[in-house]
Structure 1
Amino acid sequence: MFTILFRTIVLYLLVVISMRLMGKKQIGEMEPFELAIAIMISELASLPMQDTRVSIIHGVIPIITLLMMQTLMGLCQLKSEKMRLLFNGRPSILIEKGELNLKELKNEKFNMNDLIEELRMQGYYNLADVEYAILETSGQLSVIPKTESAPVTRADLKIKSTQDTLPITLVLDGKVNSKNLIKAEKTEDWLYNMLKKNSISSTKDILIAILDAKGKFYYQLKEKSN
């Protein structure tokens, strides 16, 4: 009895520490590989608890190994956008410029009832009020409303405004994303002029630089933020 109690306490503490080291994301916000590791850790911990014939080491070593793999993959994703796309995939735009993207809905096996339910949960009851709906890699739905339908609407205040667009990442961890520059209809000369204007000597000093939803250049340096 005391053996089972001891094994349960040790494995419980190990699982709690592992989950803590994985970060503070809620289960619904975990990326696919993070959720897979969490499930595997729980299974590995339950076997030595239930069967005393299984050595506790046979549960501890795989859990530590999975934790090390998760940490390594997390570091790789911080440094490489390609690795992040490989493990997490890309967000899917289900509604783009007010139009349903049927191809993405089909690819993500996301039916209309699911989409409408998710929109209702975020306070949008009409498809006509939505400019963009993005299914994030965590499974959460992000919604960008049409400008005139946003809370405290500009239409009500009779203020003319331009439609917000999707933010575009230009530099990540010191590396320039050439594809996104083309997508934003910007050149590397424009980017370096923006760096010069903000007294930044090199892209290597930048943690992240984006063209935000209003078309403004925003950046944060690796040591200090703007």
Structure 2
Amino acid sequence: MPEWIEIIIRTTLIILGIFFITKLLGKKQLSKLSFFEYILGITIGDIAGTISMDIELNVVNGIISILIWTSVPIIVSYCSIKSKKFRDVVEGKATTFIQDGKILEGNLRKENYTTDALLEQLRKKDIFSVADVEFAILETNGELSVLLKKEKQKVSWGDLFGQGAAVKVPLTVIMDGELLEETIYGAGFSIDWIKSKLSHKEATVEEVFLGQVDVDGNLYVDLYHDNLEKK
């Protein structure tokens, strides 16, 4: 068989395989990928490109290698969904950079983040003064989330026709069917209080996918089984 025909066949099969792998891994924007997932994607693509062009390489061995590299993010993703502790180890935790208009220098050093880089990210969000920022968090995917102080936010209907309440971030107290005890006790609540709120909703901790407490002390819960049809 001529080499060019073999390359066409190899490349076509690899493209179909990569398409299948992409569908298998699920929908995720490039900016939402963790550093670990990003490196895996580059490696899989490099292996696929090498197999399609180098006819001296054994196709079967290459496919086995791709399958192994593909299985890793699938297993990691499954374990991350099942365990918050595992997810924290693999993906890390969000880091607070600014609080009440003050930069937390220790957290910047912890993430190897320079002041110039922080200011650049703020400017990209049209924020030129750190004093305007109530809260800024570096997410696990490297994106900076910013909450402006109330007086610096855009005018809303409530601001025009009613006194605006202070902006408070809802506290996540339940995640993946597990109580986040550190957050609960740190906010001045108790496990019994959370469970009593759940009892009014006729739910248990294990049934809750996500639970948050707002500034008024209301508990919002999203259950694993909401009896909603998949679309």
Contact between 1:147 and 1:164, CA under 8 Å: does it hold in 2?
Answer: no
Between the two proteins, the alignment pairs up a number of residues equal to 224
Counterpart of 1:85, as a letter, is: D
Tell me how far apart the structure 1 counterparts of residues 183 and 123 of structure 2 sit (CA, whole Å).
32
Q: How many Å apart are 1:63 and its aligned residue?
A: 1.4
Whole-angstrom distance in 1 between the partners of 2:125 and 2:216: 22
Paired residue type of 1:144? L
Match of 1:74 in 2: 77
- Rounded to whole Å, the distance in 2 between the matches of 1:99 and 1:156 is 29
After superposition, what is the alpha-carbon deviation per residue over 1:170-205, rounded to whole angstroms, capped at 9, x for unaligned? Answer: 1222221212211222101110111122232x2111
Aligned to 1:203: 205
Secondary structure of the 2:38 match is helix
Contact 1:164–1:214 (Cα < 8 Å) also in 2: no
Partner of 1:92: 95
Identity across the alignment (%):
27
In 2, Cα distance between equivalents of 1:101 and 1:147 = 21
Q: CA deviation at 1:21?
A: 2.1
- Pick from 37, 47, 52: which aligns with 2:50? 47
Deviates more, 1:213-222 or 1:127-136: 213-222
- What per-residue deviation string (whole Å, max 9, x for no partner) do you get for residues 57-104 of structure 1? 222112112222211111111110110011001111111122101111
Q: Does 1:106 align with 2:109?
A: yes
**In structure 2, distance between residues paired with 1:158 and 1:21:** 49
Q: 1:145 aligns with which of 144, 148, 155?
A: 148
Whichever residue aligns with residue 30 of structure 1, its letter is: L
2:167 counterpart residue number: 163
What is the TM-score with the length of structure 1 in the denominator? 0.90
Q: Which runs of 5+ in 1 are unaligned?
A: none
Moved more, 49-58 or 21-30: 21-30
Q: TM-score, normalised by structure 2?
A: 0.88
Q: CA deviation at 1:36?
A: 1.8
Alpha-carbon distance in 1 for matches of 2:44, 2:28: 16
Give SS of 1:185's match.
Answer: coil
